[in-house]
Amino acid sequence: MKCPNCGFEFNEEAYECPRCGIVFAKWEERQAMKAEGLLEEPAWYQRHISPASRFLRILGGLLSLGLATLLLLQGIMLSSFWIFLLMSFYLFFGLYILVSFKQRVTMGRFALEAIALLGAAAMAFVIAPGSVALNKPMYHSTTKPFVPANVLTYISAANKACSNVDRFINIKTVKNDDRAAILARNIDIRFVDAAFHALSAKDQTRFAESHAMLHGLEPMLTTLQSRIPQYMPKGPAVWLPDTLKESIRNHIRKTRIQIASEKARLELIYRFDTGTTKRPKKNRASSQK
């Protein structure tokens, strides 16, 4: 059997088309009334949408649910009421489309749904441009928390101290006294103290554990500094016992993990603390220069 409306072919005897959904008896009755001039052609907004338009409705509903999820994450990061409002609209719109996708929708209803969806998208760009920005640097600038420069300086110094010690235990030869002096100076981790004391009292408390772990290596490193000239031209990788080298590597690895954990925890604090997430304003005089 072939549908007289959409041309879809199917074998079973049915009273309606499984593709476009018309009832054959009603369709034949309407065609007879049209032939006799008893039925007027409906306006464009009263006509039912095609199967392709029904597919577009379903796609729009899925996209709306995806946007609702994205806006939910952005709203949590930015703590914005307007983003949560837009998220609620997209969530409602997506569920409404998916629940009603089997209904025969008119062109007028389809046009209103499209206008509402495009209007919400335009409102999102106006109210919260950062949350829907496709520009990757702009996206990161809206979500990246502001961390004070002295905190970043301490983290950099602590990681540098770990890298210096890690490189030291892998050196195989020390050619002269100048090289020995450079090695001894590189494993002196006291330079981290200046960056640590530049932190605020709260930040010192937050990074106290990683700082203590770094200073836990200090007695051992002081001993190693004095032994460098004794074993020249052999380097620490040759005369250090394997068990001691492995112990130092494990200590450095744990220290780096602790620094990364403290940094991540601090970023969350600065992200959600409204009193500390404000970035410093630029000086007008310096910006004019």
Instruction: Write the pLDDT tens digit of every residue in 177-226.
Output: 887 788 788 778 888 888 999 988 888 888 899 889 988 888 888 888 88
H/E stretch holding 107 reads helix 107-127
pLDDT at site 136: 42
What is the mean predicted confidence (pLDDT) over 51-60?
A: 78
Note the maximum CA span of the chain: 115
Looking at the chain, the whole-number percentage of residues with pLDDT higher than 90 is: 2
pTM > 0.85: no
Can you give the pLDDT at residue 127? 64
pLDDT at residue 105, as a whole number: 77
On the 0-12 / 13-18 / 19+ scale of CB atoms within 10 A, 56 is middle
pLDDT of residue 139: 42
pLDDT of 29 > 80? The answer is no
Position with higher pLDDT, 84 vs 260: 260
The beta strand positions in the chain, using DSSP E, are: none
Q: Quick check: 47 and 106 in contact, CB under 8 A?
A: yes
Most confident by average pLDDT, 9-13, 32-36, 45-49, 227-231: 227-231
Taking the C-alpha atoms of residue 245 and residue 235, their distance in angstroms, rounded to an integer, is 13
Which residue would you say has higher pLDDT here, 22 or 79?
A: 22
Split at pLDDT 50, 70, 90, the class of 79 is low
User: What is the Cα–Cα distance from 16 to 101, expressed in whole angstroms?
Assistant: 18
Binned at pLDDT 50, 70 and 90, residue 38 comes out as low
The mean pLDDT value of the chain amounts to 76
Q: Tell me how far apart the alpha carbons of residues 52 and 142 are, in angstroms, rounded to a whole number.
A: 38
Q: Which H helix or E strand runs over 166?
A: helix 149-168
Reported as a single tens digit per residue, the pLDDT across 80-132 is: 667 777 778 888 888 888 787 777 778 788 888 888 878 877 776 776 555 55
